[in-house]
Amino acid sequence: MKRIALVIAIISILLVSVGAQDLKEFQEQFEIFAGAMAPVLSYNATTGDIWSTAYLGNLPHFGAGLTFGISMIPSTTLNPFFEAMGAPIPQELQNGLPFPAIALTAKLGGLILPFDIGVKGMKMFPELAALLAGKGISADYTLLGATIRVPVINAGLKVSIGASYDYLSGNITMPLDGMPTASYTFTDGAATHTIAVTNPKMALDFTTSSFDFTAQASIKVLFITPYAGAGISLGTLSVLGGLDAELTYDGQPISESNLQTIKDTLAQGGITLPVISAEGFRFGSEHTEPVIRLYGGVSLNLLFIYVDAMAIYIPANGNVGANVLARIQF
């Protein structure tokens, strides 16, 4: 969860800078951040789909295990983001921004025809949610998916093609300690107005729904199985980020008329309308670009216990990631 909090820290930098911020600039910088997150969340949604064995085999072959993955938003993507706000990149993010994923995963060999199917899923544990709530943090995480693979070559060398549907959603809201009030300005063409937020909490919501297609090869050599493959994800990623807080407009409680003025002004400036109310505001971004990734790794096989270690690379923007899967497989 500390890793997820780093995601919030990026947006927080925008809000805690000295003096009032410009809402349009916040929107533009959030678009950049969301664009960097898109391939990361797209990959994270596939966590649990890839096993070292390219094809499990027909029934009675099956397996189940737990996988943990982490992917990185490169520092080269983050640097311009912080420079635009006149803030140095935090020391913790000098090597990039890590984003985690975790899932329970299982696969079952097909019947009669050569194929295998898989399912995966994860929901935030109530105990973890309660622990975070005690620190004033509200969070949720849901990962679901299903996979089918068909062998192209089924010998010592195994080659398969696969398709899956993946759904990932989550949110986190956390207090900004030491920041009881912040303010932001915008101009409606006639005057400059100030929106002030009291006792703000950072909020980030994300959802991705995608279809993933893969081609993979593996070969078992004694008790290890090297493997490699490629995948492409096609789908939609939506990200909302902003503040939950009490808002005032030029020092007065914000009204529906004030909210409409803000929305109209931003729309005239070509800015995507934010989700805004008297309880706070969120800016949204949606991405539908295909995400291609390359992956490879090795598995250590001891009887029916398999431990996979995998590296992932996204050529479009240089994002990298890693994944570890521990499972039983028969």
pLDDT in tens, 3-23: 444 444 444 444 444 334 455
Percent share of the chain, pLDDT over 70: 80
Asked whether the predicted pLDDT for residue 72 surpasses 70, the reply is yes
Which residue range is the domain that position 96 belongs to? Answer: 2-329
Provide the CA 273 distance to its chain's centre, in angstroms: 23
Range 84-111 average pLDDT: 77
Q: What is the pLDDT of residue 322?
A: 93
What pLDDT, in 10s, does the model give residues 197-244? 777 777 778 899 999 999 999 999 999 999 999 999 999 988 887 777
Asked whether the predicted pLDDT for residue 194 surpasses 80, the reply is yes
Asked whether the predicted pLDDT for residue 78 surpasses 90, the reply is no
Q: Read off φ and ψ for residue 18, nearest 5 degrees.
A: -65, 135
In order of 45, 66, 118, 132, 136, the CA distances from 126 in angstroms are: 21, 18, 25, 10, 15
- Residue among 149, 147, 150, 144 at smallest CA distance from 49: 147
Peptide bond into 60 cis (omega under 30): yes
What pLDDT, in 10s, does the model give residues 126-136? 888 888 788 77
- Paired tokens of 230: 């490629």
pTM of the model: 0.80
Beta strand 275-277 pairing with 62-73: unpaired
Q: For residue 260, what is the domain's CATH number?
A: 2.40.128
Asked whether the predicted pLDDT for residue 28 surpasses 90, the reply is no
Peptide bond into 151 cis (omega under 30): no
Asked whether the predicted pLDDT for residue 101 surpasses 60, the reply is yes
What's the domain count of the chain? 1
pLDDT band at 182 (very low <50, low <70, confident <90, very high): low
